[in-house]
């Protein structure tokens, strides 16, 4: 081959377009409000609020291990309906192994899911809402990475159901996360809309799918490398058929692995133990007691 024709590969224009959609101002003040709620055997659970963008604040729990050191960091995003309480016990368990966890109240919390559902009926509104949510999680990673007790090179993400879809998008645009656990997710936001909007059909469905396609998880998760990906699915999931879950997994970049469980959409205790073990290995946590 002529050396004059060789050189670095051309830039991935699809990745550039994706990243441009989720760009944000890292200098925008986080304006953190933090209050200690309780302690469990020295593990501190804080109520925390931070700003992601003008007029967009997120509520979260911050779970901090006792003592000093450079801990791993984990961002948890619950299914809908759910809340920051959904993974609190799991985050406390990980704190015993040396992880600081940020458990975010996503816009689809149990209290807000009805209002949020109306917001995302319109595809343009849905796209803006999902972009703002991903940016909000990137600001949460800003928050963790800036802490003196967090090792910014050991950050993980756990998302369930809609939290897995958002996590798939985050994996394509956020390079500071080392390991992602995506539970009971599917390939596109339209799959979720069809479940919740019975009148979405015909041209309206085609428009919705076309509008959301640029930010669908299957469009983003292929750019996750070098981050490691663990997918967890239930064989008896009533919401997302197995073939759509597989399409999400197959679209993902390497390294990746998948685990199937004899369980429904909300998985099982076995899945919980498996993902904590996987996170422990990927984030170099202390051994479980």
Return the domain boundaries, the chain: 20-282
- Strand ordering across the sheet containing 179-183: 33-40, 43-53, 56-64, 99-104, 71-77, 150-160, 179-183, 228-234, 256-261
Q: What is the pLDDT of residue 7?
A: 57
Q: What is the pLDDT of residues 65-88, one digit of tens each?
A: 999 889 999 999 999 889 999 999
Examine the pLDDT at 257 and tell me if it is beyond 80: yes
Q: What is the pLDDT of residue 10?
A: 64
User: Which has more pLDDT, 87 or 9?
Assistant: 87
CATH code that applies to domain 20-282: 3.40.50.1820
Cα separation, 104 vs 76, whole angstroms: 6
Q: How confident is the model at residue 118 (pLDDT cuts 50, 70, 90)?
A: confident
* Cα–chain center distance at 233: 16
* Of 101, 105, 117, 51, the residue nearest 77 (C-alpha): 105
Q: What is the pLDDT of residues 16-75, one digit of tens each?
A: 999 999 999 999 999 999 999 999 999 999 999 999 999 899 999 999 999 988 999 999
Q: Indicate the pTM of the whole model.
A: 0.94
Q: What is the pLDDT of residues 188-237, one digit of tens each?
A: 999 999 998 888 999 999 999 999 999 999 999 999 999 999 999 999 99
Structure tokens at 12: 């991935």
Structure tokens at 43: 């593990």
Q: How confident is the model at residue 4 (pLDDT cuts 50, 70, 90)?
A: very low
Phi/psi of residue 124, nearest 5 degrees = -65, -40
Tell me the H-state helices in the chain: 13-21, 88-95, 113-119, 123-146, 162-173, 189-196, 202-212, 217-220, 242-251, 269-282
Examine the pLDDT at 2 and tell me if it is beyond 90: no
Report the first-to-last Cα separation within the chain, whole angstroms: 57
Examine the pLDDT at 3 and tell me if it is beyond 80: no
Q: How confident is the model at residue 124 (pLDDT cuts 50, 70, 90)?
A: very high
Cα separation, 152 vs 70, whole angstroms: 9
* Of 126, 125, 73, 128, the residue nearest 104 (C-alpha): 73
Contact status, residue 46 vs residue 62, Cβ threshold 8 Å: yes
Examine the pLDDT at 13 and tell me if it is beyond 80: no
Examine the pLDDT at 178 and tell me if it is beyond 80: yes
Q: How many CA atoms lie within 13 A of 146 on its CB side?
A: 11
Examine the pLDDT at 1 and tell me if it is beyond 60: no
* Of 149, 157, 171, 165, the residue nearest 43 (C-alpha): 149
């Amino acid at each position: 081959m002529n050396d004059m024709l060789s050189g670095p590969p051309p830039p991935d224009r699809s990745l550039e377009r994706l990243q441009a959609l989720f760009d944000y101002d890292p200098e925008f003040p986080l304006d953190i409000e933090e209050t200690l709620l309780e302690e469990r055997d020295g593990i501190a659970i804080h109520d925390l609020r931070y700003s992601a963008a003008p007029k967009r604040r997120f509520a979260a729990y911050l779970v901090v291990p006792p003592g000093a050191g450079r801990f791993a960091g984990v961002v948890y995003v619950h299914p809908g309906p759910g809340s920051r309480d959904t993974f609190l016990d799991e985050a406390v368990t990980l704190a015993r192994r040396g992880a600081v966890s940020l458990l975010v109240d996503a816009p689809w919390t149990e209290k807000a899911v009805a209002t949020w559902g109306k917001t995302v009926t319109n595809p343009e509104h849905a796209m803006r809402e999902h972009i703002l949510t991903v940016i909000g999680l990137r600001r949460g990673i800003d928050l963790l990475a800036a802490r003196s007790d967090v090792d910014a090179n050991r950050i993980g993400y756990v998302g369930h159901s809609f939290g897995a879809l958002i996590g798939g998008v985050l994996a394509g645009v956020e390079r500071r996360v080392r390991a992602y656990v995506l539970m009971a997710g599917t390939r596109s936001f339209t799959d979720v809309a069809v479940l919740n909007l019975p009148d979405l059909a015909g041209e309206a469905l085609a428009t919705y799918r076309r509008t959301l396609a640029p930010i669908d998880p299957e469009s983003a998760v292929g750019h996750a490398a070098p981050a490691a990906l663990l997918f967890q699915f239930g064989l008896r999931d009533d919401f997302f058929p197995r073939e759509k879950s597989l399409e999400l997994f197959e679209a993902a970049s390497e390294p990746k692995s998948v685990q199937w469980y004899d369980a429904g959409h909300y998985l099982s205790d076995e899945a919980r133990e498996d993902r904590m073990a996987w996170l422990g290995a990927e984030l170099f946590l202390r051994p479980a007691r």
